[in-house]
Amino acid sequence: MWTYTIKYEPDYFGRRGFTSPRSLKQKINVINVGKLSELVNKLDAQKQLEKKDGKTFLDLEKLGYQKLLATGTIDKPVLVKVQAWSESAAKKIEEAGGQILKEQEETAETKD
């Protein structure tokens, strides 16, 4: 009887194990600081570039990115709005003369 079960009904005893929570399966899109210059040039060519306070404004959330990482360098001052970022990425943005905006800062600027 056991060989019949193994051969013809391998799923007789049901599934085993556990499933991972959906929160662990989330796909986070990241972008590196080095790619920001290329992104600025691309948006400028498409005439979709915004300026605030004389600096280029990038809303990475609208562009589909959730996190900013620090690989690469940037030479242009940019204002970046993003959900999450690394400390070294923020340092590189500030050294170039830019700034990372948080949600509260963005809403306060639009109310003024």
Total domain count, the chain: 1
pLDDT in tens, 34-52: 999 899 999 989 988 888 8
Judge whether 77 lies within some domain.
Answer: yes
The pLDDT of residue 92? 94
Hey, what amino acid is at 37?
S
pLDDT in tens, 43-87: 989 988 888 888 899 999 999 999 999 999 998 899 999 999 999
In this structure, what token pair is assigned to residue 60? Answer: 């990475």
Write down the pTM of the prediction. 0.68
Q: How confident is the model at residue 23 (pLDDT cuts 50, 70, 90)?
A: confident
Range(s) of the domain holding residue 61: 26-111
d(CA 110, CA 88): 28
Closest of 42, 73, 75 to residue 58, by C-alpha = 42
Which alpha helices (DSSP H) does 9-111 contain, by range? Answer: 33-45, 87-95, 103-111
Which CATH number does the domain housing residue 52 bear? 3.100.10.10
